[in-house]
Structure 1
């Protein structure tokens, strides 16, 4: 698996923990026999115990069997050093969840907010035909993810193929009644972006830097 820009800032053992947490907290909590609450939270103690227990189970995956020992200190370090701030700890440090990116049914509880006038979405040209017909849809995710700056959208889209950065007229969407929320790590979320609010970023266009 290619290492992301974010992963390059983490020690190798923290990279492995971060990837495992993403899989569990965004997509497959059942892989270690836990259930997330309605807003995606789980007890830190329960999470650590479940990972350790599952790793010792006969037939456990290599990923789990070779995982470094996960402690509260390790979790706190992974949360603190992730450039994208993928995970959120509760104020008292007893619970953890993924900030966004879920493919499972959760209600993250973020308050609706007025978005910036313009937002960006990084994708690839291979997706353009379906986007032009259907708009931006969550697909396997809980919501459409939008960035406040071109650099972030570029990094996201460039991971998957020939880059296409889309400009979202968020101000008009909001005026037309579409709801926006912002995750703990600054990603803007919305249910769908119809094609009417999309345009392709021109090579000479510049947006705010991250």
Structure 2
């Protein structure tokens, strides 16, 4: 399967499993899981066709490991980044001392005033690697990389979660924990 096909299926899955399952009439369960057969059937009904093998390749080869399969390979879900209401059932864990967030300059005035907010998502997304934050920030222009004092936040009582694809999640990063 070529790169373009993988990318197109991945973008479609991100839209459906993270933001708009109703676009194809799909219902996610409370943890964000969907039946693979139902997903494929409803996607095909809207002109988006792919095989189980193609889906498995997209899940396995996605550079950000955005998707997970159930143990029996009958269900799929996005690992994080949802704007639809779901419960990932992640346990709070101690983060590394520092995490990174990639953004762009136009958001800096609001961040300097309010910190990092989850906006329409369930959590603020942070990464352990600066390179990952650079890649995230670069999607919208010249990246600005913020260092978050996550260890101090955690010790101050703010919970952190780590998704299945190693994206660190928290509800809000107040300004006092951000190194600009």
TM-score normalised by L of structure 1: 0.83
Note if 1:122 corresponds to 2:102.
Answer: yes
CA-to-aligned-CA distance 1:30-62 (integer Å, 9 cap, x gap): 01101101111011111111111232xxxxxxx
Instruction: Answer whether contact 1:10 1:82 (CA < 8 A) is retained.
Output: no
By how many angstroms is 1:11 displaced?
2.1
Match of 2:13 in 1: 21
Q: 5+ residue gaps in structure 2?
A: none
2:122 aligned to which of 129, 132, 142: 142
Instruction: Answer whether contact 1:118 1:171 (CA < 8 A) is retained.
Output: yes
Q: How many correspondences in the alignment?
A: 180
Q: 5+ residue gaps in structure 1?
A: 1-8, 56-63, 201-210
Q: Which has the larger radius of gyration?
A: 1
Match of 1:40 in 2: 32
Question: Partners of 1:154 and 1:105 in 2: how far apart?
Answer: 28
Match of 2:53 in 1: 73
Note if 1:161 corresponds to 2:141.
Answer: yes
1:102 counterpart SS class: coil
Match of 1:87 in 2: 67
2:83 aligned to which of 97, 103, 106: 103
Aligned CA RMSD, in angstroms, stands at 1.3
Note if 1:30 corresponds to 2:22.
Answer: yes
Runs (4+) of structure 1 moved beyond 2 Å? none
By how many angstroms is 1:15 displaced?
1.3
Question: Partners of 2:56 and 2:164 in 1: how far apart?
Answer: 16
Instruction: Answer whether contact 1:39 1:108 (CA < 8 A) is retained.
Output: yes
Match of 1:194 in 2: 174
Match of 1:174 in 2: 154
2:131 counterpart SS class: helix
1:91 counterpart SS class: coil
Question: Partners of 2:72 and 2:125 in 1: how far apart?
Answer: 28
2:172 counterpart SS class: coil
